[in-house]
Amino acid sequence: MARPVARRLAVLAVSAAVLSVGAAPPSAGKTEAPVTADEKVPVAVGYGGAVASVDADASAAGIEVLRKGGNAVDAAVATAAALGVTEPYSAGIGGGGYFVYYDAKSRTVHTIDGRETAPLTADENLFVENGQAVPFAEAVSSGLSVGTPGTPATWDAALDKWGSERLGTLLKPAERLARDGFTVDATFRSQTASNETRFRYFPDTAELFLPGGRLPVVGSTFKNPDLARTYEELGRKGVGALYRGRLARDIVDTVQEPPVDPASGWKARSGDLSLKDLSAYRTKRQAPTKTSYRGLDVYGMAPSSSGGTTVGEALNILEGTDLSKASDVQYLHRFIEASRISFADRGRWVGDPAFEDVPTKELLSQKYADSRACLIKDDAVLTSPVAPGDPRDPAACGTGGTAAPTTYEGDSTTHLTAADKWGNVVSYTLTIEQTGGSGITVPGRGFILNNELTDFSFTPANPAVHDPNLPGPGKRPRSSMSPTIVLDEHGRPVVALGSPGGATIITTVLQTLTGFLDRGLPLVDAIAAPRASQRNQTTTELEPGLWNSPLKARLEAIGHGFRQNPEIGATTGVQRLPNGKWLAAAETVRRGGGSAMVVRPVP
């Protein structure tokens, strides 16, 4: 028998309690001073609440809110707004995301679907011209790719239901950061460099992100006064200003007539986003997905995200294997095959439930998972693409249709995790789709618009099978974002986490969860472990830590094929420790390392 998960977690909690890195405690009489962040640390333990994100300035913004008496929701909004300043190529008010909230008083989990939507005029031929799919690279940097932003509405909905502070107050740290500037690091410069060509297509983008016509210099101060003014306006008027006011008109004008440099020769197709689309936008409060795993309850995001169903199905498939006793090869083999199978079902069944009949309950049933788990053999590898099963009529080791390839999703996005002194927790993934989004900055507003509609299938992934992810009027494109919260048998938080990375988000969250829950890794080590990602494709992606490991050859001997990916995901998480303590954890290396902070570190 495997050691009970509860015992393994207790051991991890004791180990975590000896850690003491994080944000320094405030000096007496100076608790109102802004929090500053000079360096990133990947793990912090202490009291009063915790924040983990990819960026130190953003985590500090959340900690500042917690120190002033705000709750986890308030801190999450403040952190997200700051990420819109320091991580503008990954997230911002021009995008959308998914918000998962644990309420400590009722011990319940709630979610907000803040995914972008297609224009109300869109149909399944949104990305088809002359009978052919628009080339992906051309679709990305165009008005055609821009969906109605959902991030501001998500903040508004979360604060209205669970927050304790005004939006204007929570935007102040980010407004200050945009106005006064932040220090450019190597990651920001590298991401700018990789987008330089297309940024130059759009004069407003080039002026903002290529100051003086050049790449920002590492160590220099980057300021965004336009975004500071936009945040100030939203704080003063409310987010309705983005959906119905002058800012809404600016967004619509930019999408319908992308401001292109004529000398660039770039054809930026016009989008059909309208004032009606913006005014009609609504977030969706809906029940989370729920999966039982090793006696714990794993909550995630229901469709339109595929994160909750796909992570949940894979966990159910793995439930029958004692991963705590498996060798490294056996563990990775089972993890890869469970990922392969769950992605096969994701591609066939998951789309926007307002348009598609998504069998969410059936996909998460243990009966269905067992019918799929029996496909996995210890001495052989399934051939991708694996055909989907039929969750409504499970057949042992059966497949129920024609396989479809996994469509591309941008590998940008960002994730933050927050907890407060009352025990509330937020796991929040937000995005503008791929790094740099559409590349189009709203003139005078300081933020880039998303290219989220390219997450739709441009044409059916397999003409012989219904594709649930084709565009439609007001439809939300399928997402892989997987903000997750795990509760124990008493309904108390164990861990919350999530990651960016496009479709690799699902495998990153799954691998981090199993590393922490099954393999006994401390949370920061589970996050740092070298990753594999199998998404029902011919080969599995490996980070260098596995590519250069003897494990690769041993897995190849079973039949696995691999390709290298230099970096997969950028996870953040929080773990509840005994006696009101929290552990915050983030990346040690990926994306230049993440930032974990607590309000009052353990001495």
* 13: confidence class by pLDDT, cuts 50, 70, 90: low
What whole-number distance in Å separates Cα of residue 91 and Cα of residue 84? 5
DSSP string, 537-572: SSSEEE-HHHHTSHHHHHHHHHT--EEE-S-----E
* Mean pLDDT score, 64-86: 98
Compute the distance between CA of residue 155 and CA of residue 95 in angstroms, rounded to an integer. Answer: 12
**Domains of the chain, each with CATH number or no CATH:** 5-286+408-601 (3.60.20.40)
CA distance 441 to 448: 4
Question: Is 1 a residue whose pLDDT tops 60?
Answer: no
Q: Both tokens of residue 358? A: 């998504």
Nearest to 93 by CA among 232, 221, 272: 232
Question: Which of 413, 414, 429, 504 is an active site residue?
Answer: 413
d(CA 475, CA 351): 9
Q: Tell me the pLDDT tens digit for each residue of 233-266.
A: 999 999 999 999 999 999 999 999 999 999 999 9
| Residue 8 labeled ligand binder | no
Q: Tell me the pLDDT band of 20, cut-offs 50, 70 and 90.
A: very low
* Helices and strands, number each (H, E), in the chain: 20, 20
- Write the CB contacts of 453 (distance below 8 Å, at least 6 apart in sequence): 116, 118, 122, 126, 127, 144, 145, 146, 147, 471, 477
Is 479 marked as a binding-site residue?
A: yes
Hey, what are 60's tokens? 């500090």
Cα–Cα distance, 444 to 137 (Å, whole number): 26
Average pLDDT score over the chain: 93
The reply to whether 455 sits in an annotated binding site is: yes
Q: Give a three-class secondary structure readout of 275-326.
A: HHHHHHCCCEEECCEEEEECCEEEEECCCCECHHHHHHHHHHHHCCCCCCCC
Amino acid identity at 302: A
What residue has token string 């994701």? 346
Percent of the chain at pLDDT exceeding 70: 92
- Is 407 assigned a catalytic role? no
- The torsion defined by the Cα of 191, 197, 201 and 205, in degrees rounded to 10, comes to 20
The answer, yes or no, to whether residue 406 has pLDDT greater than 90, is no
Interatomic CA distance for residues 343 and 466, integer angstroms: 16
What digits encode the pLDDT tens for the residues 487-531? 999 999 999 999 999 999 999 999 999 999 999 999 999 999 999
115 marked ligand binding residue = yes
**Separation between Cα atoms, residue 244 and residue 237, nearest integer Å:** 11
